[in-house]
Structure 1
Amino acid sequence: MQTTTLSFANIHAHGELFANMMRARRQLFIEQNKWDLPEALGMEFDQYDTPASRWVVVHDELGQVLAGNRLTPTTAKCGIYSYMIRDAQRGLLETIPSNLLHDEAPVGETIWESSRLFVSQEVPVHLRRPIYAKLVFELGSAVRKLGATQCLTLLNANWPLWAKRVGIDMSEMGPVMEIDGINNQVVGMNFTSTMH
């Protein structure tokens, strides 16, 4: 099992890995979850998959994607868009309620958004926890290399059950709310301390 942090600067050095991650996202988010998202060439994407973002991918030696995640700086701008949580709060996204945060969405050089976090449905249940832990560990490493100390993310509201198991200091940033039949919550992840 390997982890790679992709960017537009290094994407060429990793063969089909980026495309495979986007295909895995499509399989989960569009085919399985039935989310109405943009797609092309068998890949899911949205307005936040830009050169400003990074993608953390857990994969095998053949490039089969096991898990993935997108990181976007909270300072990002692309047309009217910034980052998903902030844009939802600003009322720009129809599928995410605008009252998802207690306070105004943060914007700062040391704060990034984590989104599109997934573990492939091809991964057997007994391997999901270690793969998820590896993904989150690499996410923390990537964030620190980018000069950031914090991430915010919209997660399943069951996050308190596993946060300590994967060694992350997490805290709620908004109310629990139902989206597509699942209780979700915006959570802050503090990466200032070293993860174990």
Structure 2
Amino acid sequence: MIDVVTFATAHCFGDALPSSLRLRHKIFVERQQYDVPCFDGMEFDQFDTPAAVYLLWRDGDGKVRAVARLIPTTFPYMIQQLWPHLAADATLPNRPDIWEVTRLGIDPDLDPAERKRAFGEIVCALGEFAMLNGVTSYLFVTHPRIMKNVLAGSGCEVELLGPAQVLGTFTVVAGNVTITAEALESARTCHGITSSVLRFQAEPVMNAA
């Protein structure tokens, strides 16, 4: 299952939110050497605000092992603030139905079967969240191969916002991924998931305006 966590609902999920920040430190600071703020083994940045929504996959001990952060484009978001040049072929949106997905990562210490399961549930959770909250598309910045083989391969329509470019030591591309009910069903089929994966401890997340 995927827990849907916000600042407002974090108290319902124990230490899930700080656990997710520790996982982000492990993935993005220790492993990928991102130069980002850290405190006490937790990674965070200026986009971790009350507007953010976190999709978290936890193991049987309650430890977060996969994470994705969602931000509505009506609030400051990463591509807009840090890398607008990645969208050379498009106008960056400021709309309540388009959100940005960042800090998507899976614990590298999971075994291959668990990694596959966690990733599949995160992908389907993105689709379910979109259907529940009127989200029509997500912005991503990722490696071109992931954009093509993983996101498009899961049944989503992908529009590239500009050419691939190098950020630090990584080659990345920005894309707008359209989410539909058909795309969600295709993703479920692709990942062998037959029912909802989202778990809310409060009312489903609002329309952000």
How does the TM-score come out when normalised to structure 1?
0.86
Partner secondary structure for residue 27 of structure 1: helix
CA distance in structure 1 between the partners assigned to 2:128 and 2:98 by the alignment: 14
Q: Which moved more, 1:123-132 or 1:186-195?
A: 123-132
1:161 equivalent in alignment to 2:149:
yes
Structure 1 counterpart SS, 2:129? helix
Say if 2:125 is the partner of 1:131: no
Residue 171 in 1 paired to residue 159 in 2? yes
2:186 is equivalent to residue 192 of structure 1: no
| Aligned-residue offset at 1:164 | 4.2
Equivalent residue, structure 2, for 1:58: 57
Match of 2:202 in 1: none
**What amino acid maps onto 2:15 in structure 1?**
E
Alignment of 1:39-188 (within 5 A): 39-76=38-75, 82-89=76-83, 98-101=84-87, 102-158=89-145, 159-188=147-176
Contact 2:131/2:181 (8 A) holds in 1: no
Alpha-carbon offset, residue 65 of structure 1: 1.6
Name the structure with the higher helix share. Answer: 2
Offset at residue 64 of structure 1 (A): 1.7
Q: Deviations over 1:111-130 (max 9, x none)?
A: 11111111111112343233
Once residues 127 and 165 of structure 1 are traced to their aligned partners in structure 2, the CA distance between those partners, rounded to angstroms, is: 20
Task: Give the paired residue count.
Answer: 182
Q: CA deviation at 1:147?
A: 2.1
User: What is the CA deviation profile of residues 5-64 of structure 1, one whole-angstrom value per residue up to 9, with x for unaligned ones?
Assistant: 101221101001111111000011111111111011221000000001100111123212
Q: Give the distance between the partners of 1:119 and 1:104, measured in 2 at CA.
A: 30
CA deviation string 1:117-170 (max 9, x = no partner): 111111123432332121011012123322211110101111212224433222
Q: Residue 126 of structure 2 aligns to a residue in which SS?
A: helix
SS at 1:99 equivalent = helix
Alignment root-mean-square deviation, CA: 1.5
Give the unaligned 5+ runs of structure 2: 186-209
Report the CA distance shift for 1:64/1:166 in structure 2 as closer, same or farther (over 3 A).
farther
Q: Secondary structure at the match of 1:132?
A: helix
Larger relative contact order (CA 8 Å, sep ≥ 6):
2
Distance in 1 between residues matched to 2:61 and 2:2, nearest whole Å: 12
Q: Percent identity?
A: 27
